[in-house]
Amino acid sequence: MSNVLQQHVRMASSMDIIHNLREMFGQQDRSARQIAIKGMVSTKMVEGTPVRDHMLKMMGYLNELEVLGAMLDAESQVDMVLASLPPSFNDFVMNYHMNKLPMTLTELLNHLQYIEDLQKKNKKSSFLVEANVVSTPKPKGKEKK
């Protein structure tokens, strides 16, 4: 058995083992946490891409940060996600802040998907209205001078 393993076997409690391992490998956690934070802060949703994909990516970063020991409360996590959304979600973000809506990341995902669906429907209906306006026939006949 290696010296490190023998040392861990002699320790009295699991807390001693965890403390010792953190001392040995703690620096790696720190750099991994910094990389995850940088990735999360620099991630911005591109207009027109699915909000579900973006939310899953952000939730992955938040999960990774939690595993690496970063302490972020639920409200801060939601705020970080809202800050990464494109301008098309500004009305939702403003409503969230004005009404102080408490929600989990899963609830936020569901709300954002609903908003995205509404935006798609509104875009289709406005396109149909524009198409009807453009395709209206012009009156036939001679123009008067």
**DSSP per-residue string spanning 9-78:** HH-SSHHHHHHHHHHHHHHHHHHHHHHHHHHHHH--PPTTS-HHHHHHHHHHHHHHHHHTT----HHHHH
Is residue 20 a part of any domain in this protein? no
User: Which residues constitute the domain of residue 102?
Assistant: 32-131
Please list the ranges in the chain whose pLDDT falls under 70: 1-12, 22, 24-28, 125-145
Cα 78 to the center of its chain, rounded Å: 8
CB atoms within 10 A of CB 41: 12
Model confidence over 60-99: pLDDT tens digits? 999 998 888 888 899 999 999 999 999 999 999 999 999 9
Is residue 1 a part of any domain in this protein? no
Is residue 111 a part of any domain in this protein? yes
Is residue 138 a part of any domain in this protein? no
pLDDT of residue 3: 64
Is residue 121 a part of any domain in this protein? yes
Is residue 48 a part of any domain in this protein? yes
Q: How many domains does the chain have?
A: 1
Is residue 102 a part of any domain in this protein? yes
pLDDT of residue 5: 54
User: What is the reported pTM?
Assistant: 0.65
